[in-house]
Structure 1
Amino acid sequence: MIERFLAMLAAERGAAANTLAAYRRDLEAAREVLGDPGQADVAALEMLGEAWSALAPSSLARRCSALRQFYGFLQDEGIRSDDPSPALPKVRARRPLPRLLSRAEVERFLNAAETDAKGDDPAAVRLLTLLELLYGSGLRATELVSLPLAAVPRDAPFLHVTGKGGQQRMVPVSTRARQALSRWLVVRGGLGEGRSTSRLLFPSSGKTGHLTRVRLFQLLRDLAVRADIDPQRVSPHVLRHAFATHLLEGGADLRVLQTLLGHADIATTQIYTHVDSARLVELVNARHPLAGNPFA
């Protein structure tokens, strides 16, 4: 039943490979406690609260969401006549604000990458290009590493990106990122066999495949050390958050931001309004004349 459920997500909802893998992990975790989750009754689901008591609220909420959708699927398919999901643990997971880098920190990050890439070392030029596209265009890690060469236009300053669920969008590329891309296209064959003939923008060391998300993560954290930034605060998604937050601070419209980020629902984009509000509160508390002595 789990396999049929995942096949439905892929076929009908266009779920991405990473999304399917996450659902699989959550349902397999349920199977470890319940046995066959498709056969579990209300009493069995009530045991999950204790079994998963050590989980963070967000993790618990995600697993319960996967099970609710799974039981909805079983009902739609006529496999079950009842829905036991109301017995799942109740949790209100407050969505955390994304980790952020300040503009000054991003500038240090970029400066470190530019220093490394002053010569023609292909690895350094590649990292600069990756960084410019993450922060300059707000791409997801998977979108970035899997870009085909054909996504890079010759004249128009846009990338053609395939995002979650196979949705396509055009993403503007900054002048800095275009310059880095031009340098990378010249030297990308210098990192090993098969690079120059690959149809991928960031090919792996083999003859097929692209740079992995894990490797991108490692490269960014190594660069963070050289830029004197705590590497624990750095990831591809943190740079995507910085792109969105800094655009919003600069006056970007929320709908425009939704399009640039490839969010299907603007509610997902609205998290950045909370980030901006938090920044304003911090500013008032730090700079207002009465902030240090409210009773003066």
Structure 2
Amino acid sequence: MSDDANLIERFLEMLVAETGASQHTLSAYRTDLEQASGITGGLLSSADREMIRKLPSHWRRLKNSTVARKSSSLRRFFGFLVEEGFRENDPSDALPRPGLVRSLPKTLSHAEIALLFQLVAEGLGREPVKPSVVRLSAILELLYGSGLRASELVGLQRSSITGDKPYLIIKGKGEKERLVPISQQARIAVRRWGEFVDSKEKWLFPSRTGHISRIRLFQIIREHAVRAGISPVKISPHVLRHAFATHLLEGGADLRALQTLLGHSDISTTQIYTHIDSARLVELVNNRHPLSQLDLTR
């Protein structure tokens, strides 16, 4: 299998595991990427800006919406390659942006998050407690409480969390290490889960062949959402990460601090959350500004 074919498959696997992409979505991505790979002679994954700049010449007869989709597919693919360490730079800024409006990431409300944790708390309160519930508690605390990526969570080693250290040192995308704060509640949840894991195990969330896969993590989260009465379409490990970021920003977090917590190399990636928060800001102006309290019709 060529490098392009192999990396496209890994990219599509990531989409399923982290976002629950539908077969229709996967098919569209596959078509866009395989066509671009064919145009570049099978060198898409290693293409430089000059090569990428030539792609739009093959899209001249296409509608703007189709060009926008193809550009978006390639941008996400190159972002994946950089973040996973398969290449050092992202050449996708050479692609056209035909009236693109960047879509906002899905997130969950505070009430929906509360439902997820309430159901876990009920399970932890039963005797005997099920190991699967203890594991789920640790997973939710780390995904929503620390904003870990799915790949970072499943790849956590038992040694990642030791004693009462208020942080994790994890290796994120691109093999970059970063400090991730971990709450007291998360440490308790992880410590409790550790009692169910064989001390000889390397991974914090082991499986029969190593650690649990991103696809299995996705299934665990969705199954729990259904039990909590939340539409499974609305949730994935990545949505919990978005909720972590959105709710921190709503609580007054600084954008630079949020960038560090999420492990974004470029703050422009983090700035998408300012758009999510815009509705709250409009409400703030409408309800709290002095002029909103005045009756100017008199």
In the superposition, the TM-score normalised over structure 2's length comes to: 0.71
Is 1:264–2:271 an aligned residue pair? no
Query: What is the aligned partner in structure 2 of residue 122 from structure 1?
Result: 131
Matching residue of 2:59: 48
Residue 193 of structure 1 corresponds to none
> Which gives a bigger RCO, structure 1 or 2 (Cα 8 Å, sep 6+)?
2
Query: What percentage of residue pairs aligned between the two structures are identical?
Result: 46
Partners of 2:52 and 2:190 lie apart in 1 by 55
* Secondary structure class of the residue paired with 1:188: coil
How far does the alpha carbon of each residue in 1:124-163 deviate from its partner, in whole angstroms, 9 at most, with x for none? 1111110111010010111011101111121312111111
Deviation string, structure 1 residues 158-193 (Cα, Å, up to 9, x no partner): 11111110110111111211111111001134xxxx
Tell me by how many angstroms 1:279 deviates: 2.5
**Residue of structure 2 equivalent to 1:200:** 203
Counterpart AA for 1:232: V
Aligned with residue 160 of structure 2, among 151, 160, 164: 151
Paired position in structure 1 for 2:72: 61
- Describe the shift of the 1:36–1:21 C-alpha distance in structure 2 as closer, same or farther (beyond 3 A): farther
TM-score, normalised to structure 1, is: 0.71
* CA distance 1:276–1:90, shift in 2 (3 Å): closer
Where do 1:1-296 residues align within 5 Å?
Answer: 3=3, 27-32=33-38, 34=39, 36=41, 46-48=57-59, 50=61, 55=66, 57-63=68-74, 91-118=98-125, 119-189=128-198, 196-204=199-207, 206=208, 208-281=209-282
Cα distance, 1:268–1:41 mapped onto 2, change above 3 Å: closer
Q: Which one-letter code corresponds to 1:277 in the other structure?
A: S
Report the Cα offset of residue 35 of structure 1. Answer: 7.7
Q: Which has the larger radius of gyration?
A: 1
Matches of 1:137 and 1:89 in 2, distance apart?
Answer: 35
Q: Give the Cα–Cα distance (whole angstroms) in 1 for the partners of residues 53 and 262 of structure 2.
A: 40
CA deviation after TM superposition for structure 1 residue 28, in Å: 2.8
Q: Aligned equivalents of 1:231 and 1:112: distance in 2?
A: 15
Between the aligned partners of 1:171 and 1:263, the Cα distance in structure 2 is 13
Deviation digits for residues 173-219 of structure 1 (CA, Å, limit 9, x no counterpart): 11211111111001134xxxxxx522011111x1x321111111111
Aligned residue type for 2:254: D
**Structure 1 regions of 5+ residues with no counterpart?**
8-16, 68-84, 190-195
Taking the aligned partners of 1:220 and 1:43, their CA distance within structure 2 comes to 41
C-alpha contact (below 8 Å) 1:61/1:91 kept by paired residues? no
- How many residue pairs match? The answer is 256
Structure 2 segments unaligned to the other structure (5+ residues): 16-28, 45-50, 79-92
Give how far 1:231 is off: 1.3
- Alpha carbons 2:64, 2:98 under 8 Å: kept: no
Does the 8 A contact of 1:61 with 1:92 survive in 2? no
